[in-house]
Amino acid sequence: MFFSLSRRILLLSCAGLMLGAAAPLPNPVAVVVDVQRILDESQAARSVQKQLETQRSKFQTEIEKEENGLSQAEQDLAKSRDQLTPDAYTDREQQLRQRFAIVERHVQARRKVLDQAFGDSMNTVRANLLAIVNDVAHERGANLVLIKQQVLWTDKALDMTDEVLSRLNTKLPQVTVKMAPEEKEENTEESPK
């Protein structure tokens, strides 16, 4: 059974090659674009970076505040060890561990939100970039677009990076980063302070 299936696939492949060979392929007309430079220098990508840096800075300030509170609570617990019964100390230690876990989950959730916002925003930039590359390539009569980083050498006349960058900056000067709300945990109780 396996052998006959393999034989059928081979026959279909050969038939496809013979049909494909009947239609001549067009001569390649290539252009080159430096995608990385565009993603680094475009106004839209820079606006995304700036907005995310602001969000990261705000987030870092919040986390530092929470970490300082946890550190103080840990010191207070250590100082009160001799004044508490073993059961009371164990309870407060458990509450402190829960607060640490909540902060850690908050950090992970916020990172996930930031990463998702960055990805979504850059996908908007990439989609517009691709549309513009398509337009410019067709205007130049090209049927093949190569990424500059994957080309060993090219004539400068084939490089359409500047034109694509200019059009992208005109079409999409900024992207508004949309931050999704953090997912709230179910069954979380108010953490003791």
Sequence spans of domains, the chain? 27-171
- Record the tokens describing residue 59, joined without a space: 């987030």
More confident residue, 128 or 5: 128
For 28-49, the pLDDT digits (tens) are 999 999 999 999 999 999 999 9
Give the span between the Cα atoms of 151 and 154, in whole angstroms.
7
Residue 2 has pLDDT above 50, yes or no: no
Question: What is the pLDDT of the chain when averaged over all its residues?
Answer: 87
Q: List residues bridging with 145 in a β-sheet.
A: 31
Tokens 């979380």 belong to residue: 188
Pick the CATH number of 27-171 from 3.40.50.2300, 3.40.50.720, 3.40.50.150, 3.30.910.20: 3.30.910.20
Average pLDDT on 154-159 reads 95
H-type alpha helices, the chain: 2-22, 35-41, 43-79, 86-139, 161-171
Per-residue pLDDT, 68: 93
Q: What is the largest CA-CA distance in the chain?
A: 91
